[in-house]
Amino acid sequence: MSEMKLIPFRMDAILDTTNEVPKGIQMVEAESLWDETNQGEGSIVAVIDTGCQVDHPDLKGQIIGGRNFTDDYNGDTENYNDNNGHGTHVAGTIAAIEDGEGVVGVAPKAKLLILKVLSEEGSGQYGWIIDALNYAVQWRGENNERVRVISLSLGGPDDNSELKNSILKAIDAGISVVCAAGNEGDGREDTMEYSYPGAYNEVIQVGAINEERSLTDFTNTNDQIDLVAPGVQVLSTYLEGKYARLSGTSMATPHVSGGLALIIQLVEEQFQRQMSEAEIFSQLVKRTTPLGHPKVAEGNGLMTLALTKKLEGLFRTPI
């Protein structure tokens, strides 16, 4: 059995400082839901990745807990600091705080459970990832909070029954599992490339588009793609308190994870009950816009969080 690896990504730039709302956050219309959801406050997203720089200025107040499942730091389970950079970047896209400095995430008041399953080199054993998935399902916060979204920007070529079972357990527990499609794409929309766990039907598989809303050459296309999100030159948090622009389906995935943190708060308030994972998925799909690519390339389209609001506005307009 081969190891699970970081989905390859491209480093475009490292910045010491920045002060902007990243373009991807604008493209998915995150700000349109901030008032109604209090920026995702109350949602907890488990980030299963390389860890996170826990004292990054944009993230240090966002982390509710964590655990290291790797051999890094001599296997110290309490040390889930990021020694790669990838996990910190993913975490920032989900929940970097809105404080007028640095960057901001899709759900700036969501909390993050950081589960380090990939080493400094970006690889990890399947067992580490399975243990982290089970941990995320069982985890409870001080006030009995629990994880509602799991973000997985990693993948491998092998279908693994134990991995799939742990994902199904998470979904049965009402957790939305969001996975990167993979970057083995060949630029053709009609050829299929599969990476696991993204290719499982039960997960929410995310492909990548650029700022022009065109499909990227690298994004995997297959018959299980659910939607797409920005994945080119995505600006987010990085090691040493810095910021970086990275490209890959790894960067598209946390846009959707953060989007779900907002959607869950919004619709459970509206319906005044806890929604199942399937119901949450249907609410996500309601907030996608087709871009004109084949369904095997874009699924339901680009996550556009303001869409239902715009439709409601249309129908409220007097004739």
Q: Give the residue from 160, 86, 157, 161 showing the smallest Cα distance to 118.
A: 86
Give yes or no: 49 in active site. yes
Instruction: Return left, alpha or beta for 31; rule: phi > 0 is left, psi -120 to 50 is alpha, else beta.
Output: alpha
C-alpha angle 266-259-282 in degrees, rounded to nearest 5: 70
| pLDDT (tens digit per residue) in 96-107 | 999 989 999 999
Sheet containing strand 176-180, edge to edge, reads 63-68, 111-116, 44-49, 149-152, 176-180, 204-209, 227-230, 302-303, 288-289
Please state, for a pLDDT cut of 70, what percent of the chain lies above it.
98
Catalytic residue among 86, 89, 255, 293: 86
What's this model's pTM, rounded to 2 decimal places? 0.95
**Is 89 an annotated catalytic residue?**
no
Q: Is 293 a catalytic residue?
A: no
Give the distance from CA 25 to its chain's centroid. 12
Of the listed 151, 195, 250, 257, which one is catalytic? Answer: 250
Task: Encode pLDDT of 45-74 as tens digits.
Answer: 999 999 999 999 999 999 999 999 999 999
The structural domains of the chain, ordered by start, are: 4-316 (3.40.50.200)
Cβ pair 200, 54 in contact under 8 A:
no
> Is the predicted pLDDT of residue 144 greater than 70, yes or no?
yes
Average pLDDT, the chain: 94
- Give the pLDDT confidence of 264-301 residue by residue, as tens digits: 999 999 999 999 999 999 999 999 999 999 999 999 99
pLDDT at 1: 54
Phi, psi of 266 (to 5 degrees): -65, -55
Contact 256, 107 (CB under 8 A): no
